[in-house]
Amino acid sequence: MQATPERISERLEAVRWGVREALNESGRGPDETRILVASKYYTLEQMGALAGAGVEIVGENKVEDLLRKQEAFEDAFEWHFIGHLQRRKARDVVSRVTLIHSVDSVRLVEELAKRAPEEGVEVLVQVNVSGEESKYGVREDEVDPMLEVIGETEGKVRARGFSTLAPLVEQAEDVRYVFAKLRTIRDRLKNRWSSRFDLSELSMGMSNDYRVAVEEGATIVRIGRALIEEPREARS
């Protein structure tokens, strides 16, 4: 599929429609979920098409690609970091993104606190809900201690909520439990930490399962190739 703004805009509107429908079916407000486009799937030329199509938020997986694309497009997007972040590269990210989705260790929190700009850095604690060894993230019983560590940074690092990656499955319903569990974790901790952190964000759901994630409370869904690939049912 040619990545023109028109084609991307058409696919983006289909995703927006799907999000709105899922929000309505789950009794949520029409603006409670934002769409983030995972920019690792897009070249610099295609990034221009994303901007032309009205994409507002992009998330990058690699620091080098973030720096290269941000240099070219600057304020065209709201920039997030969604990949695994190595501590040695924290300094290159903290002042360049609105939100880091992938905080998964105490040592990373400590490094972010050292490198954070004066206004601090906002993060999501990544939780390995499914228990897959191939996925990053803390265990459920490690979430509360992680928030304790973040709280000790005195505002240098601020938790905004949680993120998770579900297993890749054919049927989105098969991973509903992952999204429901993360929402349960957030709801359990939200009141306890309300005086320190907002914890309103749930980053979960991708191109193949975002509707289920929205139904279970996602506030941010990550859309990858869906804006440049034909829908699965249309493929021969």
Residue 220: which domain range?
5-229
Q: How many domains does the chain have?
A: 1
Residue 236 counted as domain residue: no
Reported as a single tens digit per residue, the pLDDT across 106-150 is 999 999 999 999 999 999 999 999 988 888 999 999 999 999 999
Band of pLDDT at residue 232, cut at 50, 70 and 90 = low
Q: What is the 3-state secondary structure (H, E, C) of 146-204?
A: HHHHHHCCCCCEEEEEEECCCCCCCCHHHHHHHHHHHHHHHHHHHCCCCCCCCCCEEEC
Residue 118 counted as domain residue: yes
pTM score, whole prediction = 0.94
Neighbours of 234 (CB within 10 A): 7
Residue 56 counted as domain residue: yes
